[in-house]
Amino acid sequence: MIYRARAPFRISFCGGGTDVSPYPEMKGGCVLSVTIDRYSYVSIDPRKDNIINIKSLDYGATIKFDTRDDLLHRSKYALLKYTIKHFKVNKGANFFIHSDVPPGSGLGASSTIVVTLIGAIAKWKGLIMTPYEIAELAFKIEREELGIKGGRQDQYSAVFGGFNFIEFLADSVVVNTLRIDRDLQREFHYHLLLCDTKKVRFSSKILARQIEACQRNDEQVMNALEHLKILTIELKNALLKGDFYTFGRILDRAWEHKKKLAPGITSPAIDEMYEAAKKHGAIGGKLLGAGGGGHLLLFCPYDKKDIIAKAVSAHGAQVVHFNFDFEGMRSWCAK
């Protein structure tokens, strides 16, 4: 029997940064996001010995170790090894891991991979876990045990799937799944343009700067985070009402506040790409993830999408075709 799982990557419209500690514990945060049909996959084929063999297309490597070894999790493949170690796996297996998008995409790649690993291992071991338990365990492994900087939204988005307004409180997370009419979903999708900027991201450095600024109560950063929370709620309301051009304009305002969170969120090349998009008709947009590169989301008038796509392509971007995902993380068995 082979055990498989997949989890979707996400587009974060607004609120990213308010989910990064210590801000949610201090003020509370919220994000608005949707998952898309780009996935992380994990397959587990049990062995009869104690060898764990991991083939990761994303990392371009094959890793082999004995389940009886004391794993040094502070290594290049710590995320993969430590997730397996967390479940106290004492039997061998072949793990095959791959994703539809590369690391550093701004689509929540690393957290989605952890969620997928947890889903596959839980299926293998016959464990029943709630969506909240899976998301929180992924957060604990990545952020607390391994100390990788970042927030909570990616884990919850990957597990739940679909359109979600997620609230981050001092001691809990609440996922509010949004019910949006199918025709409104189609119309909304028709206005979106997703572009791979082909720019390298350094999210850990960006997030470290934001965390440090929050810890010393930096006025500019704290004000920007507060504005992002307000705009996230406004975006949610515009989305639910189908007021999409208002949505696009709010997206543009939110991007201006996002850039205030830390140096390196944008760059001259990214700014030129975004301004070219707006010059050719884009209403609003933003870089996805912590910033610095990755994917750029644009909200466009339907009759100008092709013009805007050509404009950003001239600046080195590649248009990515996608649809929405509503399943979230799923696991299954294959004979």
Q: Is 33 helix (H, G, I), strand (E, B) or coil?
A: strand
- CA–centroid distance for 5 within its chain: 17
Neighbours of 218 (CB within 10 A): 18
Neighbours of 250 (CB within 10 A): 26
Verify cis geometry, omega within 30 degrees of 0, for the bond prior to 22. Answer: yes
Q: Tokens 């945060």 — which residue? A: 29
Residues serving a catalytic function are 154
Q: Are 94 and 55 in contact, with CB atoms under 8 Å apart?
A: yes
Q: 138 φ, ψ to 5°?
A: -60, -40
Instruction: Name the residue among 3, 8, 16, 87 with its Cα closest to residue 287.
Output: 16
Q: Are 199 and 293 in contact, with CB atoms under 8 Å apart?
A: yes
In angstroms, the CA 124 to CA 107 distance is: 27
Q: Sign of the CA dihedral 115, 116, 119, 120?
A: negative
The amino acid at residue 188 is F
- Sequence-distant contacts of 145-148: CB under 8 A, at least 24 apart: 145/73, 145/82, 145/86, 146/73, 146/78, 146/79, 146/82, 148/79, 148/110, 148/204
Q: Tokens 């389940």 — which residue? A: 67
- CA–centroid distance for 105 within its chain: 9
Q: Edge-to-edge strand order for the sheet containing 284-287? A: 284-287, 295-299, 192-196, 318-320
